[in-house]
Structure 1
């Protein structure tokens, strides 16, 4: 509203101001250009007359008179140049006015050549008259471009006066032409013809201009034309016009002609100047009216605009205060109350909507009605937020309940499979049981994923530290295509018990992701080593890799895990689980491009989660480490749920290990989920039937059924005590390794036969 009102005032003020500015510029042009140019025009007319006389007579007297006239014209021109070239003129004149003024200056600069030609006698009277007429015409073109009054009546009067002035210029041209002829004593035919045209032209121009004069000025014009000066001039013109062709004897003297023309030109100029004064008198009330309109439109309009601004500002402040109150209430609802309500509901507290969303008072006007609508909105928003928070909590509880039930069933399934594996002797059936065992372990990890997404902790826990190599093996046991994973030496480092379950889960998600997104003919390499800040596990695949923006997005998701929402996408569910598990123990997980074209995942375990294995011998030249050493008693006191992992720590891992399909690994069930049987030593010396590295010696036909044996198998060099020490997991690993070797041998034999057949065909 203020902008539109101000725009209207500015338009009205500009329209009125424009008339005043126009009058100001016209007055400036009149005083700086038009006024100083009129004396110069008169002096140039006189110089033209003297030049024509000089060209006709050529005496010393006429030459001196011409010199004096030129000096007067030069002095008048200097005054005109100083006034017309002032900087204010360029502001007052428009483009056309500046162009005509520049043209006039150019014509005046050519005056020197005209004078030189006249003095040298190289120019006739006709050409000299035309040359001076060219200069005087530029004056009138300049006058026409500067007569730009907005008032139509005044503009018309100004054009009429210029037409009368042009008629006077024609009279002066006629006077100069005949003065030159009188000085020579004869009038040529060409001069006589030009004289006739000019004498008729100035009368036509004067009569046409006089028709547009006001009544008082028209009466003065008629009186002048009928007066004695113009009557005598008209008789002389008629007398000369009656002679045709060359006039060798002009019928009147130069004095008679000069007396008539001087009187006529003077009276005509006085009439024109008087008409100009009366135009100025008529322009005075117009200028006063412009000033009055400017005061009314500008001053009073400005006062109205200022009053409107004050009224609008005071009203807007009141409205702004109410709107600010409404805005603050909206920010408080979105930034404080809603998050607080959701958090309290998440903690299981009861929320009273009436207390959390008290109604706000905004008045009874339109803004007050908006405030009442906002009260309804905030009450509805808090109620819906409470319902949504309760719904999310219920969903989390349902997920946790389902996950725990699934986890319990999987543990029971694993126990049943363990019993079946122990009593099964058929290698084919045992392999199928191993596959079921592996699928059950993956089902357990999926159940744990639900618990992690729901914010709960998985049920698997370890009281004692576990060697890092067994932690990685436990993660491989939960990966479907674990046979493509190459395990490098992990070092003599153990992981503290409180982080074993989560680290196994984290590594399993990352390894499975690496296996899934790399070609089936490639391997995934897992390695680990000590660093200054802890322990690093590197998982490197040979896949196609990720784009830089995808890597940045994945690292951001891991470093700053967002809140899990049911409605969100599940494409990166594994990374969400990894981020939650890493956040729980302060583990850093970073993805980067691999030089082999795939992706490398770096898992940084902090120092407080890893220890040096006290059972591993440290060479004397090995550099010291800042990690604490695990005491040997920790392994001796391990529970039944940790015994398989502890046994794995006693076996060295000096060479990369490639797991096969027939050698599944499974971490023992957590302590909280199984009943602990009577504990047995788990760090005793290897039985005599094993290799120095701890692997069992193969006994021919030891695993065949009795009817299939050719002879009784040779007894393994072991005693009963050592046989009892072998756990079911070790037996299963042995069987798997045996079957894997058989399968590899059959594959190699089939390939050899195929190659031989191909050679025979060739």
Structure 2
């Protein structure tokens, strides 16, 4: 027979042989020294540490229970025997201390399993309640039935420990253990019968409930003893039978029958005396205790030979195992050197490939670069054996990874190109639709209701344009809209609100004057629009979304706060992580498309976006635009040379009592169309001491047929220069000056300068600054000429003509800006 050379044996064969020998060795040892050996060797430990001290504790508990029943049955004699009861309680406490120390000892805890540990803990917890039971008895707060039930509960917890100790591997020993436990439980039932009878005899009477309970206990103990006798070993069964044949046992059975079936009426005196019952019952219980202990000792004696056999098998397994281990070591030393050397080399090369070369090549391939794979990632060569085959498998993985990376990169580029082309074509169609809408809006014969519908369609088209630009962002492209010169922050916010649904709920509270760099205006508008739309979508329709902007040390901060549903802490942290690391976020893991777009736009320009919990329960999005993208003047020149950023921080925030601005309904939905020379916002100058804050009131939709909102006349001139967007009009809140009523005649006025009640009369524009005052305050009231007013048709025609004129002026201003902005790209092929 030809012996096969060890060098030709495969690595798999060597490893299988080595593992098979070690597995067989330790499997045999585990079989010999496994659960059976530990279980049987632990019988003596559990018997000495738990069973024996617990048996003493049970005897004392049963004695204390009987003496307590006697004391409750005859309180007069109980006072004379109080010393005996106290002595018995002390004996119980002494055995309890011993049981607690042994049952929780280190070696017993190591032998015991989890179930036994739990039963011991429950038993000790029940024993802690003895003090409360004794206190109730001494205070006279308990009757015999309730106190007996409390003692029974404590004792039952002790017997549950026996049930956990009966889980032995040897069938014969396990059967005898269960029989011994059955004997112990039968003795406990007899002890309960004894305590009940002692209490009844001490009281001198037996109720119907007590007689029924007594009969139940008698039947139970006789049934349990009968079952145990059938399962006991021959020697133990004979010992128990001898006890049953004693005159004491017969006398006890006779007294049980007399108590269950009294010869006279139920109200007659009991036929059994307390002294005689105590003498007989105590003797029988002690004899039964001896039988139970003898049965337990026999079980322990029978377990010792089994444990000795376990030790013998353990020694045999150790000898055979030693021989097998020596052979395995010799074989391993001779074969492992070459295997380990090759594996170490393979590991080094594979790690270098996986951690350095392959990622670099995949990255370059993903970017579309031309890569020479043979030079950048050369194949691994480790021979023709099994380790060499592993190296070839690594080479195959490398080639597959590079091929997949190249294919995926090309697929992503193709998808991005197609997506970008489709988006741009869609944008062209939307822009054409907007142009058609502008032309229809400029018609002179259009009705007001039709004009309002056109404005609504215009707004929907503007939102469609933003969603199309979302596709460009996801494709990595840039929208075609752009501006060369800085645009006012107010116009940027207006343009964002013009691109969202339900814009009427958006409220611009405070917006410090600043101008955004022209080339980022489109992306900033898009970013604001996504955040505002998320805030509107996830908040109740009866709430508002507040927008606040101010200069800060690192740029310009805009806070968008809603009062909606909010997010959990985990979801909020995850969203902020994806906003800060958009390259790690994918559309498959990003449930909110708007936040994905926000992250891409923010990363493109270095804008910081942070989400946080709002005090109102919703979310607050803080957008921090870097200083290099924000200007303090419309020209954007000299921001940092002639005036430091810190100098303007104090002048950027209006006073607390300043009016809150809220945007009204849009008349166009095309985003900001700033004029050539934006003017600073009203209130941009440094302010005096803060005044009490006046809370803004919610606004209704102006298109819903409500009365026209009053306009602050002295603001029109300063705001009109940059109010060319779709959200141009400013509204006045209650509590702020409205149109003057100086031309209305007073009715029953008092003296000059006072009202009818003698109070000072208010003079319009008295407290306004001099440059803001108009001559209307000092002009005398004009008398009513009595001429009839214009008809409703004439008023409607006049307002429509005025509206068309203002629209035409805004369109001309927008075209001037469009001529100076970057032209939008044409449709892609």
**Please, what TM-score do these two structures have when normalized by structure 2?**
0.42
Q: Which protein has the larger Cα radius of gyration, Structure 1 or Structure 2?
A: 1
Compute the TM-score of the two structures, normalised by the length of structure 1.
0.46
